[in-house]
Structure 1
Amino acid sequence: MTTLANAKKPPARRRVQGVSSALVALVALVLFNAVTTPNFLTLNTLNINLTQTATIVIVGIGMTFVIATRGIDLSVGSLMAISGALAPVLFLNERLGPNLGVTLSILLPVLAAGLFGAFNGLLVTRFRIQPIIATLVLFIAGRGIAQVISGGALVNFTQPSFTLLGTGRVLGISVQVLLMLALLALAAWALRATLFGRYVIAVGGNADAARLAGVPVTRTKLLVYTLSGLLAGLAGLIVIAVNSSSDSNLVGQNMELDAIAAVAVGGTSLNGGRVTMLGTLLGALFIQLLRYTLLVKGIPDAAALMVKAAIIVGAVALQYRRS
């Protein structure tokens, strides 16, 4: 019987090819903007694109783990909205006080999003519902929950200790960018150096074989959906901290598309078993820079969505061709 230690590892050559493709696409887009977009090669433009990329990467990390197990999570945008709606309720509550209110507004919304992620995982593992259907439940209902929490109204606030999460800087670097890099490094380490990472890759490669080899398949899938929810909750807090307002109708809108596109473009196989966190970073940078490019060129948002969808289709087609 095959043991986990001897389980087949993801093909390094294909992983490198995926990362290389994402890097080539990113460099091509950078060169295009350097030639055609005035003032593109400036620190201000770099800072804008990095901060906009941070939430895509944070959500994309969770999405990478989910997709690595042959799953998908359509609920991340709605979970961001739930987290973003719940936080102001806590830190604007005078009975809690400013310090306790801010602490709880960071911890509880993230935990709540994690619980919703665990609910997704439960539907997938215990009730054996297809991931795309299971997460579609909260894709639809989650934003409704967020609207109920906020009353469907825009909530403006000025809470410096909370907004530091989105606007603060350390040595000139945005706090959200530092969070992104720290989480990315931690996720890459977990995939390469921990038993959990081996479990994720084994489940994505062949769940039945992994189960026979003693891998806790159900628990691993439950954990990756929970992790995806936690990271979506954190991303939701960052978005409202940047804007100093919470709008349950807009927070996290279309984030599931950005995250899936970043993972697919980055080279992680949508069939599971092949994972690259570096690729997810490069894919997210490409998606954000593409959005920036379309914006400065005056392309409407509707066309931008179609371009993103086409990129996902192209990335999937390229993966199948390599396979």
Structure 2
Amino acid sequence: MRKRQSSLLKDNLHGCLRPMLLPSNKATGVNGKVTVDVPFVFVKDLLAMILDYLERHQSKGSLTWRNGVIPENEIWIKVGGDKGGTSFKLDFQIANTHRPNSYQNTVVFACFEAPDSSANLQCLIPILEQLSSLQRQTWREKIIRTFVFGDYELLTKIYGICSCNAHYCCLYCHTSKADMQAPLEEQDQSVQYRSLASLAESYKAYQEDGCRKVRAKDVSNSVIAKAMIPVEIDQTRAKSSQEIYSWGRFVKPSTRHRPFAARQRPRVLGKSSWEPKAVIRCHQTTHHQFDISQETTTSNLLEEDRLQKEEKRSEC
């Protein structure tokens, strides 16, 4: 195992102790926080690592374009993170594999032992900035497209939006929280979409106003920090489909004014039972479009479950 790790990582791994904020109830803490040096491990050259994994998949013939779902001249890379236990992990997945969401195809390239607060996530900026060069990169004459995934709270922190319950909490547009709660026929028909450029302008306005968080909803559309990642917002997806209902003018599935239909999916391998359709519609127009179906059907999930059980039996 150690030889295999050495062949994969080579000299591309770096580890250090970094001061981060941890919750504390001691008298030495400030506002319930204390600064502690915690382990921080990351890959120095993310682009080289991804290209190396692509070459390995190419040599094994395990790359797929899903019958035209992914264009033949593109490679899709998903980058995201999540906190589990006491550590936060940042990872990537190659979508051009047969089972991109499986743990075998999930590669962790950064990890630290601390909560994923906005202050602690600042250490990831130099690593995430490498995605800018990744999006300009080609591999075997194919364009590399980068997508970002994570829970809604993480995405708002990465893109500098105040919080999930901010006045303008939608990741994609400037729809206010009050407008989301109104019936569709009473909502404002004009939609201003967010982008990296608009986020930069909003943050500049926030700075010029003196960085007063209480006024963020009035001067910067609830943007209070610079975006950490150079990936456009329309290339993001929340990890949990239930959280999509809080975006823009979407309403909870329990209400009778549901703006789009969702299909039921059985619980297989611990997956969520809700899976919305790829196109989300808002007052008869397409509000946000992205493909999240990943060709997932009940038969595919059952077949995947059967294959994993057979693999476990063969290992035993």
- Bucket of the pairwise TM-score, normalised by the shorter protein: under 0.3
Q: Work out which structure has the larger RCO, using CA pairs closer than 8 Å and 6 or more positions apart in sequence.
A: 1
User: How does the TM-score come out when normalised to structure 1?
Assistant: 0.22
User: How does the TM-score come out when normalised to structure 2?
Assistant: 0.22
